[in-house]
């Protein structure tokens, strides 16, 4: 009876099992048991190495996907073709505009920021702008003269940049809790490049009004009124600001007496 399982184990293990089985019946069975371990260990090692290779391949694939979708794109901006960056920036801006129309303001803010990141990345590729005698400014970057962009592409990117900052300010003004400091910051970025931009002038005035700086608010609101004399919102805020200034003056007189 003991020869049957021994013979069965021998077929499972190959030649070594057969030789072990050719000995005495009592000693053959204990010798076959340790012989069963090496193939099992080898199989486990092979499975472990295969699993490790699969994980490595998956990790490499994830890294490639991150690079493709922008995860590490900014670490190697020189790999981007300027025309591709222009296209991506304009696409993100258009997506932001659609989100704004759909009243998805948080999503719109994200899209506008993505567009600005594309533009800033392109500026790093093309080099720092020639500021000449002007002091360094953290405001909007410009394109260097040695860039490979056409004049049309430069104009499109600069316009997109201004529109993104203007639109970011518009989105923030629609939020339940408005960050007026950030609204002011975005609008001033636009005015640094385009001093007569009506939307930036008006929103700067609104931001300064809510921040309590009524003199600056009145200045920007009146400047916006010059650009769009019929705009009722600008007129209303001018009236509110002038009223605040009068009340403040009256209060100061009372305190002085």
Please, what is the average pLDDT of the chain?
Answer: 75
Q: Which CATH number fits domain 70-194: 3.40.50.920, 1.25.40.10, 3.10.20.740, 3.40.718.10?
A: 1.25.40.10
pLDDT score of 41 more than 60: no
Which band of pLDDT confidence, cut at 50, 70 and 90, is reported for residue 84? confident
pLDDT tens per residue across span 100-155: 999 999 999 999 999 999 888 877 766 545 433 444 444 444 444 455 777 888 88
Please give the pLDDT value at position 49.
Answer: 58
**DSSP alpha helices (H): ranges in 69-213?**
82-101, 105-126, 151-173, 180-193, 198-211
- Asked whether the whole model's pTM tops 0.75, one would answer no
**φ, ψ (nearest 5 deg) of residue 158:** -65, -40
Residues 6+ apart with CB under 8 A from 4: none
User: DSSP of 172-198, one letter per residue?
Assistant: HHTSSS--HHHHHHHHHHHHHH-TT-H
Q: What pLDDT does residue 34 have?
A: 43
């Amino acid at each position: 009876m003991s020869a049957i399982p021994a013979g069965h184990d021998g077929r499972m293990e190959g030649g070594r099992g057969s030789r072990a089985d050719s000995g005495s019946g009592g000693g053959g069975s204990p010798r076959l048991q340790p012989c069963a371990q090496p193939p099992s260990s080898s199989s486990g090692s092979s499975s472990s190495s295969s699993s490790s290779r699969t994980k490595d391949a998956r990790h490499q694939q994830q890294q490639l996907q991150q690079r493709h979708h922008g995860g590490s794109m900014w670490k190697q901006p020189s790999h981007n073709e300027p025309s591709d960056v222009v296209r991506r920036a304009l696409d993100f801006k258009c997506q932001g505009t659609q989100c704004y129309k759909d009243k998805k303001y948080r999503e719109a803010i994200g899209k506008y920021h993505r567009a600005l990141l594309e533009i800033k990345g392109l500026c790093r590729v093309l080099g720092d702008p020639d500021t000449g005698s002007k002091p360094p400014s953290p405001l909007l970057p410009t394109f260097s003269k040695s860039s490979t962009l056409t004049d049309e592409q430069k104009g499109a990117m600069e316009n997109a940049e201004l529109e993104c900052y203007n639109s970011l300010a518009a989105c923030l003004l629609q939020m339940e809790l408005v960050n007026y400091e950030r609204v002011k910051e975005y609008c001033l970025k636009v005015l640094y490049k385009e001093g007569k931009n009506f939307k930036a002038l008006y929103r700067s005035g609104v931001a300064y009004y809510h921040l309590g700086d009524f003199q600056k608010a009145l200045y920007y609101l009146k400047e916006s009124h010059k650009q769009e004399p019929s705009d009722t919102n600008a007129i209303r805020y001018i009236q509110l600001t002038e009223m605040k200034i009068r009340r403040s003056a009256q209060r100061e007189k009372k305190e002085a007496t």
